[in-house]
């Protein structure tokens, strides 16, 4: 026989909130390290979680932490592109054809290593942050960035060389 039970009202928001609570802090910090911009970090992370939510609803995610990390990297990448064009605008208006305004912004920064990290080209910085902050393997880093492990090694190596160069210049 048929049996009917009046159902209760329910949502999934509470479950996703739990995931958010577990992962959002580290996600914001990763976004900050990737972009060097604390104001943009939350914007990146909110975009990333909004996209993760859909996949999570579809139960397509095996490792939610890794998925969030990848989403943050992708969003940060988009944000960096935007910043690049903003700089192009700014440099045009100031007549600086080579300019990277960040140099001036960092002039007062005391932490030489942090200054140097922020002056890394974006690709090198992404690889360095994922390897040395997230402690990901070369293969894991390659997968997230969508490049080959060889390219990851190359970018990390060039990043470290660049850091040495920058620190040496700073010290000198």
Partner 1 sequence: MVDLETRLRETLQARAQDVEPTPLLWERVQQKRRRRTTLGWSIAGVATAVAAVVGVAILPNMVAGGPDDAPVVVGPAPVNPVNPRADVPPFVVIGEPGLVEVVATASGEVVHSFDVEPGAEIVDVAVRPSTRVPDLEVAWVQRIDGRHEIVVSRQTAEGFARYRLEEELAADAPAPSLTWSPDGRHLAWVVNSPAPGAPEEPGAVVRLRIADREDTELAPVGYSWNIGGGVRLADWVRTGDGAGTITGVSDDGQLTRFAVAGGAVEVLLEQAYPGQVPPAGESIEADPLPLTYADVAHPEGDESVRIELLASGRDEQAVPRLRAIVGPEVIELALPVDLVDADPASLRLAALGQAYAVLSLDQSHLFTRGAGLVGDLPVAGSRVLDFALGDEPSEPGVGPAAPAGLVLSDTLLATDGAEVFLLGTDGSRGQAAYQAPADRRVVAIAARPGTPGEAVLVLDDDSFVHLRPGAFRFSDPPQGPGFVSSALPARYQPRHDGARAPQPVWSPDGDYLAWLEHDGSGAATFRVVGWGPDGPGTGVTATDNAAFALRDGTAGYELIDWRWDDIAATVATLIFRTNDPDGVMSWSSGTLRRQADGAISDVEELGGEPDHGTTTLDSAGRFTLLLRQGAPEGPLTLVDAAATFVDLGSLTELGDTSLRIDAFGDGVVLYGNGLAFFIRADGVQRELPGGITAAAFVPTAGAITQPSAGHPRLDRCDATEADYPAAPAGTRQVYAHFFCGEDLSTFPVARRTVAPAVLTFALQQLFAGPDDHEQEIGFDSPFSGDTADLLLRATLDEDGNAVIDLRGEVLASVTLGHTATGRFVISVAATAFQFSNVEQVELRVDGSADRACDALAEDSDAPCVPYTRAWYEDVVAGPG
- Region 90-109 residues binding partner 1, contact defined as CB under 8 A: 91-93, 96-100
Q: Using the rule CB under 8 A, is 172 a contact of partner 1?
A: no
Separation CA 162–CA 130 (nearest Å): 17
Which range of residues in 51-59, 63-71, 136-144 is near partner 1 by CB under 8 A?
A: 51-59
Site for partner 1 in 132-151 (CB under 8 A): 132-133
Q: What single DSSP character describes residue 99?
A: -
Q: How many CB atoms lie within 10 A of CB 102?
A: 15
Identify each DSSP E strand in the chain by its residue range: none
Q: Using the rule CB under 8 A, is 1 a contact of partner 1?
A: yes
Q: Say how many CA atoms lie within 13 Å of 57 toward its Cβ.
A: 9
Q: Using the rule CB under 8 A, is 11 a contact of partner 1?
A: yes
Q: Using the rule CB under 8 A, is 59 a contact of partner 1?
A: yes
Separation CA 130–CA 142 (nearest Å): 10
Q: How many CB atoms lie within 10 A of CB 106?
A: 16
Q: How far is the CB of 40 from partner 1 (least distance, A)?
A: 11
Q: What single DSSP character describes residue 91?
A: H
Site for partner 1 in 111-130 (CB under 8 A): 111, 113-114, 117, 121-124, 128-129
Of 97 and 104, nearer to partner 1 (C-beta) is 97
Which range of residues in 62-70, 89-97, 136-144 is near partner 1 by CB under 8 A?
A: 89-97
Candidate list 18, 65, 82, 139; residue touching partner 1; CB under 8 A = 82
Q: What single DSSP character describes residue 121?
A: -
Q: Using the rule CB under 8 A, is 70 a contact of partner 1?
A: no
Q: How far is the CB of 66 from partner 1 (least distance, A)?
A: 18
Separation CA 65–CA 158 (nearest Å): 28
Q: Judged by CB under 8 A, how many residues of this single chain contact partner 1?
A: 73
Separation CA 7–CA 49 (nearest Å): 30
């Amino acid at each position: 026989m048929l049996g009917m039970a009046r159902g209760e009202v329910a949502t999934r928001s509470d479950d996703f909130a739990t995931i958010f609570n577990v992962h959002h802090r580290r996600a914001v910090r990763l976004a900050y390290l990737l972009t060097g911009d604390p104001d943009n970090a939350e914007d990146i992370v909110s975009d990333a979680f909004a996209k993760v939510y859909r996949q999570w609803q579809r139960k397509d995610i095996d490792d939610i932490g890794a998925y969030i990390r990848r989403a943050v990297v992708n969003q940060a990448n988009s944000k960096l592109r935007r910043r690049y064009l903003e700089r192009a605008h700014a440099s045009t208006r100031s007549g600086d054809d080579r300019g990277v305004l960040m140099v001036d912004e960092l002039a007062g920064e005391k932490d030489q290593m942090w200054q140097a990290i922020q002056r890394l080209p974006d690709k090198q910085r992404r690889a360095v942050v994922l390897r040395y902050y997230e402690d990901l393997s070369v293969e894991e880093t390659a997968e997230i960035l969508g490049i080959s492990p060889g390219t990851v090694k190359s970018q990390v190596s060039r990043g470290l060389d660049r850091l040495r160069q920058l620190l040496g210049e700073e010290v000198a």
